[in-house]
Amino acid sequence: MKNIQKIYEHAQQMTHKGNAASYIPALAKEDPTMLAVSLMSMNEQIELGDCKKTFTLQSVVKVLSFMVAANHHGIEEIMRYVDVEPTGDSFNSIVRLESNNNKPFNPMINAGAITIASLLPGESMFERVKSVTAFIEKILSKQVSVNNEVFMSEYHSADYNRAIAYILQANGFLKSDVEEALQVYLQLCSISVNASDLAKIALYLATNGQNSEAVCSKQVINIAKALMMTCGMYNFSGKFAAFVGLPAKSGVSGAIIAVVKEGEIEQLKGPIGIGLYGPAIDDVGNSVAGIDFLTEMSKQYELFCL
């Protein structure tokens, strides 16, 4: 089955194995049978399904907010607040907030991402959110906006995240107050994009920033990719690394970005960015069709990068 269209069709049949996220009411309305995949090299693109359909970044934004904060403060300072160790726990788990000297384990889980939200450059909620949207806008060469319906929906069902933020504050791992950190984090999760945008973001990582004017140090980009490889797919990250072997990050909207440093997929050659949207997610929080597509694609086109 060495044909990207066939891999897509097979993955699309897997959507019935998952459900759209229901814990955020605004996400529950998405069509669970949908699958959009965009693959982008420096000069070619393959689009499968409706790659212009918009959805929210959710946890995919954790990669970008980490990059903005780390590029601003330097990695040494950031690591005083957030570690780079995987947990194997679910994304909103609080169990480890009393180990590792109370420091959040990594920026890809909610605890680390809420700390990162408080460390973003700026003096207000607006400026901190803007620091990340401006970075995304540079990568995409277009404006992006926050989906207010999703943000409000999240904000009114944020008990767990609020609890995490209070524990972080009590332990000295928040630079802003609880409500501001929470609102910045949730607004960033609610940024609207489409599958083509995701592919361009992934290509930015694959090319170490060579496909746009957005500025980020190579060290920070490399650490972002290492975090994606070790912690990017929630508590499925180990299996994803073992059986797909690509740095990737997912979100509960069904979004996934995956990075091919060097590969060949049909007419695409060299660094390739992959953006995917399949809102039917599994129990862990990953798009079921997305996992199926990436697993088969990595196998067929020999993309395993380790």
Chain positions contacting ligand DON, by CB under 6 A: 58-59, 91-92, 110, 154, 161, 186, 189, 251-252, 285
Q: How far is the CB of 280 from ligand DON (least distance, A)?
A: 14
Residue 17: which of 218, 254, 199 has the closest Cα? 254
Q: How far is the CB of 268 from ligand DON (least distance, A)?
A: 27
Within 10 angstroms of residue 210's Cβ, the number of other Cβ atoms is 10
Our CB check for ligand DON shows the closer of 251 and 263 to be 251
**Enzyme catalytic residues:** 59, 62, 185, 234, 252
Task: Name the β-bridge partners of 47.
Answer: 38
∠ at Cα 56 (55, 62), nearest 5°? Answer: 145
Residue 224 to residue 121: CA distance in whole angstroms: 18
Our CB check for ligand DON shows the closer of 97 and 303 to be 97
Task: Dig out the tokens for 100 from the structure.
Answer: 């590792």
Our CB check for ligand DON shows the closer of 157 and 217 to be 157
Instruction: Give residues with Cβ within 8 angstroms of 134, minimum separation 6.
Output: none
Q: How far is the CB of 114 from ligand DON (least distance, A)?
A: 8
Our CB check for ligand DON shows the closer of 59 and 176 to be 59
Within 10 angstroms of residue 9's Cβ, the number of other Cβ atoms is 14
Our CB check for ligand DON shows the closer of 154 and 296 to be 154
Give me the helices (H) in 256-305, please: 288-300
Residue 59: which of 272, 303, 233, 210 has the closest Cα? 233
What HEC string does 158-175 produce?
A: CHHHHHHHHHHHHCCCCC
Do the strands 248-250 and 192-193 form a parallel or antiparallel pair, or are they unpaired?
A: unpaired
Q: How far is the CB of 102 from ligand DON (least distance, A)?
A: 20
Residue 11: which of 292, 255, 275, 276 has the closest Cα? 292
Instruction: Give residues with Cβ within 8 angstroms of 17, minimum separation 6.
Output: 280, 282, 288
Q: Contact at 8 Å (CB) between 160 and 92?
A: yes
Q: How far is the CB of 179 from ligand DON (least distance, A)?
A: 15
Q: How far is the CB of 290 from ligand DON (least distance, A)?
A: 13
Our CB check for ligand DON shows the closer of 189 and 248 to be 189
Residue 116: which of 171, 66, 169, 191 has the closest Cα? 66
